[in-house]
Structure 1
């Protein structure tokens, strides 16, 4: 009788063990699947990140090429160009502008362009710069510019506010087109026209 009870007890314990052990195994299997799924997601995200990094590198390379082309065009343009901030401080200047003013361009960086404008025209220049930064369209203005030797140039200013994604501060690019010769020709023509008018009047 005792043997039967012991055998029955063993059977019951064995059955209980069989019922309990699968329950213990299931979470382990689920954890393995979770880990595999997470590893897969991590790999997918890593591939996406590498792809995005590659696109970023390509964009940076294209930007660098574009900047180099811009610098070459800016530097070697026959027209004098300046890049100014809202206070008319010179941030960039090309070779032609440096030659016009007779000052090395490294010494021009950080100076205000208004210092090369005659006193009687400074207000006109200040008003012009304010107008340029008030709207993103090209503005023009005629005034005189003094170079290092105090020689006077009559110039046509053409300015436009520009955007730089890498720099938040406002800037404008301004071209100084020397029209001194044209103005002299206009003045000579005006003098001749006046003389002709007086001659006709004398008749």
Structure 2
């Protein structure tokens, strides 16, 4: 029986008792044999009320027990939430913080009371906020079968100190499948990154240890072995291919600390030439496959080559040769530039043919453009014919 039925029966009882009372008191000429029947009916009705009350009491007791059980479980999970070793918080879909545990307050160096109601984006450095917003949009668009997304991003404490954070984000949906909240786990991984960086630096030093150093003079062609990756210990290597007309195309420059090899390309024709005296160390791919630490050291260097390749694609995609040359000089300024009194000196001497191949044009065109840049005092040459850049800011 629910509470509505109990109220209904109580009202019926009240009405019938009132009728009986009026009958007994206002109409005294009613035969006396009717009174026992009235009392019997009153007793029966009272019994119904009593049973209903007992049933309601039993239901109330069960509800109290259930509530106590739920409260105990809620307290248990609240303690797990509060005393978890990592920072946990709950936000709405706009990243406004609704709940946060004590480790979250400690991580951001702010009290829990001040955390609540603030947007999590307030703790994201300005330069990372657009990426953070994009992640939120992608999170809200996850299909129902996918609830969790991970992100590594820089976060900022109240005192403006920053740290590297690994975020695990889980969406909460209502019965209609709409995202209504986001649960966050935040871990400070700054120390881990420092350990990895230290290991990479150590491995960089180890790359040359217990390995033969191969030296090649300027202009020499470096042999390529598909089972080997070359690590540039010192110097500069030109990476190129040849088109159908026989013209050389510059596709990369491997500077000190970078890697290259025929296993890193799908080009059938791939050539490496020393642009300056170089020292190389050979590393077998089989070594990398079985050594996590060696893989950890090599991966960022492969990433460098990938980024450089994309930059050369951008240069090749410029419609005007002047634009290609301008972007090439910007790239060389960053990769092999060194400050001198007159500007930025390219530490390696590039021929007009080298520059033309990088810009997908002819040597004659490059010679004409360089002469024009000299007249405009944007570039000059030192005594050893190295280019000095004067007006090629980003």
Which segment is superposed worse, 192-201 or 179-188?
192-201
CA contact (8 A) 1:102 1:147 kept: yes
Match of 1:64 among 62, 67, 71: 71
Pair 1:113 & 2:120 matched:
yes
Match of 1:185 in 2: 195
Of the candidates 99, 119, 135, which is equivalent to residue 106 of structure 2? 99
Answer 1 or 2: which has greater helix percent: 1
RMSD (CA atoms)? 3.2
2-structure distance, mates of 1:109, 1:141: 22
Q: 1 CA distance for matches of 2:137 and 2:34?
A: 72
CA contact (8 A) 1:86 1:130 kept: no
Distance 2:160 2:51 in 1: 68
2:163 maps to which of 142, 148, 153: 153
- In structure 2, the CA distance between the partners of 1:48 and 1:194, relative to structure 1 (3 Å rule), is farther
Which runs of 5 or more structure 2 residues have no equivalent in the other structure?
Answer: 1-30, 208-230, 234-258, 261-279, 282-394
Q: 1:120 to 1:98 in 2, by over 3 A?
A: same
Against the structure 1 CA distance between its residues 133 and 43, is the aligned structure 2 distance closer, same or farther, given a 3 Å change threshold? farther
Structure 2 Cα separation of the partners of residues 124 and 86 of structure 1: 16
CA, structure 1 residues 27+133, in 2 after alignment: closer, same or farther (shift >3 Å)? farther
| Equivalent residues of 1:90, 1:113 under 8 A apart | yes
**Where does residue 374 of structure 2 map in the other structure?**
none
Shift of 1:80: 1.0
Aligned to 2:61: 54
Q: Does 1:144 align with 2:151?
A: no
**TM-score normalised to structure 1 length:** 0.71
CA distance change for structure 1 residues 161 and 49 in 2, over 3 Å: closer, same or farther? farther
- State the partner residue of 1:15: none
Residues 36-75 of structure 1 show CA distances to partners (whole Å, capped at 9, x for unaligned) of: 3322221121111101111111111112222222222222
CA 34–139 in structure 1, closer or farther in 2 if over 3 Å, else same: farther
Aligned length: 177
The 3 A distance-change label for structure 1 pair 26 and 198 is farther
Distance 1:31 1:124, change over 3 A: farther
Higher RCO (CA < 8 A, seq sep 6+): 1
Partner of 2:288: none
Structure 1, unaligned stretches of length 5 or more? 1-23
* Aligned CA distance change for structure 1 residues 140 and 31 (closer, same or farther; 3 Å): farther
Distance 1:43 1:128, change over 3 A: farther
Q: Is the 8 A contact 1:132 1:172 kept in 2?
A: no
